[in-house]
Amino acid sequence: MASENSINIFVMGKKYEVPKGLTIMKAMEYAGYKFIRGAGCRGGFCGACSTVYRVPGDYRIKVGLACQTVAEEGMYLTQIPFYPANKATYDVENEKAALGTLLKYYPELSRCVGCNTCTKVCPQELKVMDYVNAAMRGDIAKVADLSFDCIMCGLCASRCPAEIVQYNVAILARRLYARHMAPRAKHLEERLEEMKAGKFDSQLDEMTRLDTAKLKELYNARDIEP
């Protein structure tokens, strides 16, 4: 039995008693697990800690990010830091920003049944089915916009009955949009030309001669955009 301030969890079927209030990741570390894979930013941005779990009294299999999801009493869990999804190889320079390109590399896209499971499972609360529908219409810009905050965790693909790899479809759309549709940033082009011309070489050379303490001081005192 767990004490008043602790809970029991099961990792890969093995029982552990851990303090209440910990995230799954911290609970696993408390139980003695050392993360070689399946941990990254620890802040919900990298998608490396996808986790599948069940809780007592609920028939559903649930998913979440281990760094965000709080461990519960009786939770059975296992991690899936990598999902074995199809990933196409392509040269975005020679592809058109069109529906045909998406279907060429991800033909399973046409099998979408509109179940919305992908949206329900997304830890970022993205409108995944909406961008899949946009992809099926060939609206590359809409896909790029709706999927912009995707962290590539793979949870949408893990629950899709049509076996669509939504996040890989999305990154192809974003690449097509960036290469063929997005307006060029003039200020970025100007800055790149300045760099090529060596405008900042002396400053970089000076920085390489500074010690660690001075570099930290400069970093902490830097101007930060609001």
pLDDT, tens digit, 9 for 90 and up, residues 40-83 = 888 888 889 999 999 999 998 898 999 999 999 999 999 888 88
| Residue type at position 48 | A
Model pLDDT, residue 226 = 66
pLDDT in tens, 17-30: 999 999 999 999 99
- Residue 156 near residue 63, CB atoms below 8 Å: no
DSSP 150: -
pLDDT in tens, 168-192: 999 999 999 999 999 988 999 999 9
Torsion, Cα of 38, 42, 45, 47 (10° steps): 10
> In this model, does residue 2 exceed pLDDT 70?
no
- Residue 173 near residue 140, CB atoms below 8 Å: yes
> In this model, does residue 208 exceed pLDDT 80?
yes
Mean pLDDT of 118-122: 94
